[in-house]
Structure 1
């Protein structure tokens, strides 16, 4: 076959894809709160683009359950109910405990080092009081475990669940000492994997997720009390 010396075409992001990422990031990082109403026009002006890509991006966010439309008013960030939160963590505990058990028997030293690096980055974010960065790294930690286990379909499910819980998780990690607790819980999970103890790793993951759920509930009660 002849060599044409052609370089592969790298697909550039569309305006709609860039708008989607920017809006989603603003929501998950808490820059757009669930108690404010905003419009496509405001988003378009902020991103200096037309309304068409904004409308398409917003429709994707509505489908994902991150944004809801209020007739004749605009858009708002979805507020997660207590019942939904219970379901999110029920699913996460069921799924992630099984993922960690499978992974513990096959994880490499290089992969363990990657997880430790995420924890180091979390420690840096904690010391700099960067809650949004810490939350993003937390999501990365959990999704990296699923990626290492080669569970692509599970990763997609977890990504949606993480996004929903992140809507109210930012303030929860800012609760006194919670970031340090999360960091230590992650390190304990890594330690169990290093000793190749799948049951212990699963127990530590379950405890970590239960404590995270409890922290979010405490934050919600604080806001509504």
Structure 2
């Protein structure tokens, strides 16, 4: 017998919709929201909104503003440094662990993800591009069988999605990322542990540098960098 697909609850639907809006940049950090305003805009009661907001707050994507409501979390410079440190440490380890046992089939799957990123550029679909970027990084960690580190990194990926658009805003950066991904995959194909790890470090540092430059540019232009969410 075929299993019966479970219908999503209203709370789960609200959670999914809010999370997509946060991670896509549709909801910005300078926008204050309330349970009432969201419930009215979604034409539902406040209860599922309150539950969804509670979950997103626990995940670190929303922050409570006392007596006002809540906002999308803004990733500041200190947050970025911590995220970068953890990602470099974890992801350099993951590619080192992969070198000795990654298969040709798995390498082809990684190549396919990069090919999809190229299609996303052609379609001018930044959201899909960022999703594929994180799919590739998560897949590398999954293949390395670092289960505990994979769980830790999952929360970091949610936070880095907050700055995803800033990370690729530099002209030509999307194409650079694709080449950096290709280089990492080729180093794995060559079974070169140190090269793969060094390329991963370079990739993450370059992405972080791109975000910082974009923030500085917006700050100089607007006198305020809050319009960027938070690699």
Match of 1:146 in 2: 141
* Structure 2 Cα separation of the partners of residues 11 and 152 of structure 1: 28
Scaled by the length of structure 2, the TM-score of the pair is 0.90
Match of 2:81 in 1: 86
Q: 1:76 aligns with which of 63, 71, 76?
A: 71
Alignment coverage as a number of residue pairs: 220
Cα distance, 1:118 vs structure 2:
0.9
User: Would the alpha carbon gap of residues 185 and 56 (structure 1) be closer, same or farther in structure 2, given more than 3 Å must change?
Assistant: same
6-15 or 37-46, larger mean C-alpha shift: 6-15
The one of the two structures with greater contact order (alpha-carbon pairs below 8 A, sep at least 6) is 2
CA contact (8 A) 1:112 1:194 kept: yes
Q: Is 2:46 aligned against 1:51?
A: yes
* Structure 1 Cα separation of the partners of residues 45 and 99 of structure 2: 48
* Structure 2 Cα separation of the partners of residues 13 and 109 of structure 1: 38
CA contact (8 A) 2:166 2:210 kept: no
* Structure 1 Cα separation of the partners of residues 12 and 69 of structure 2: 21
CA contact (8 A) 1:131 1:174 kept: no
Match of 1:197 in 2: 192
CA contact (8 A) 2:167 2:208 kept: no
Cα distance, 1:149 vs structure 2:
1.7
Where do 1:75-224 residues align within 5 Å?
75-224=70-219
Gaps of 5+ in 2: 221-231
122-131 or 36-45, larger mean C-alpha shift: 36-45
* Structure 2 Cα separation of the partners of residues 151 and 50 of structure 1: 41
CA contact (8 A) 2:63 2:73 kept: yes
Scaled by the length of structure 1, the TM-score of the pair is 0.92
